[in-house]
Amino acid sequence: MIHSWINILIRNLKRDNSYELDPAISFSDLLSILATRGLAMLRGLWIRPWVGSSGRILFLGKGTTLRHMKKIFIGRSTIIDDHVTIDALSLNGVRLGNNVNIARYTTIQCTGVIQELGIGLEIGNNSAVGAYSFLGAQGGIKIGNDVIMGPMVSIHSENHVFSDQRIPIRLQPRSREGIVIEDDSWIGAKTTILDGVRIGKGSVVAAGAVVTRSIPPNSVAGGVPARVIRKRN
């Protein structure tokens, strides 16, 4: 009975009638999950007035830090898990779609130095960022719908110019092209994605890859630097 009730609740939150809990989850574990989510929902209610906008329900983990909250825009039924840091100071801020999941200990940083504001981050519906990931959105990051990521993914949308040996690298200009990850892509654990990259729709990037150039749609890529290994179809 409790499984059926929670299934209905989650389906309504996610607006996904196909969602099914694993029947092997025990009653006590379900109660623990409900208690954790309930506290997270209360935290979400508490911060809703302070963010730029938020959907009807937001789940906010413990120890989470949100900076420049008026530049954070959040869709419905989004989870920002424990000890996540989001610093939204930037031109466009941070925009999270519906049913987005930002896993624990992730850092989202939109501006490196206040001499030059960053662009910001946009994540589409039903997408997830894995635990312990870092998203540097100084040059702009756009992540589409239904994108999944493993843990410890590192995304850097800015580069340092270092051509002039007479000037310290930190004082030389920065270049920004931005990064796009299109819909229905899977980014494997410990992947690094560098500025100027577009990962095409439906692509898979193998764990540990370093992506330095764009990947066509429906590709499987891996390696250091990453290259296309095969097409999905």
pLDDT band at 1 (very low <50, low <70, confident <90, very high): low
Q: What percent of the chain clears pLDDT 70, i.e. is strictly above it?
A: 100
Secondary structure (3-state) at 193: strand
pLDDT band at 22 (very low <50, low <70, confident <90, very high): confident
Q: pLDDT digits over 57-116, tens only?
A: 899 999 999 999 999 999 999 999 999 999 999 999 999 999 999 999 999 999 988 888
Sequence-ordered list of residues with C-beta below 8 angstroms from that of 116, at least 6 positions apart, any chain: 174
Look at residue 25 and tell me if it is in a domain.
no
Look at residue 22 and tell me if it is in a domain.
no
Residues facing 108 on adjacent strands:
86, 135
The bridge status of strand 65-67 relative to strand 85-87 is parallel
- Is 3 one of the annotated active-site residues of the chain? no
Look at residue 5 and tell me if it is in a domain.
no
Q: Flag whether pLDDT at 139 surpasses 70.
A: yes
Look at residue 15 and tell me if it is in a domain.
no
Q: Which domain holds residue 57?
A: 51-231
Look at residue 88 and tell me if it is in a domain.
yes
pLDDT at 72: 97
pLDDT band at 162 (very low <50, low <70, confident <90, very high): confident
Angle at 53 between CA 47 and CA 55, to 5 degrees: 85
Residue 218 CA to residue 220 CA, distance in Å, equals 7
Give the helix/strand (H/E) hosting 37.
helix 27-47
Q: Flag whether pLDDT at 199 surpasses 70.
A: yes
**Range in 24-28, 154-158, 175-179 the model is least confident about:** 24-28
Residue 16 vs residue 221, higher pLDDT: 221
Q: Flag whether pLDDT at 175 surpasses 70.
A: yes
pLDDT band at 171 (very low <50, low <70, confident <90, very high): confident
Residue 204 is encoded by which pair of tokens? 């898979």
Q: Flag whether pLDDT at 170 surpasses 90.
A: no
Q: Flag whether pLDDT at 31 surpasses 90.
A: no
Look at residue 30 and tell me if it is in a domain.
no
**Residue 132: which CATH number?**
2.160.10.10
For 63: left if phi > 0, alpha if psi spans -120 to 50, otherwise beta; the answer is: left
Q: Which of 62, 80, 181, 198 is nearest to 131 (CA)?
A: 80
Look at residue 176 and tell me if it is in a domain.
yes
Cα-based distances in Å from 62 to 44, 65, 191: 10, 9, 27
Look at residue 29 and tell me if it is in a domain.
no
Task: State the total domains in the chain.
Answer: 1
The mean pLDDT of the chain is 93
The label of the residue with tokens 């309504």 reads 12
Q: Flag whether pLDDT at 172 surpasses 70.
A: yes
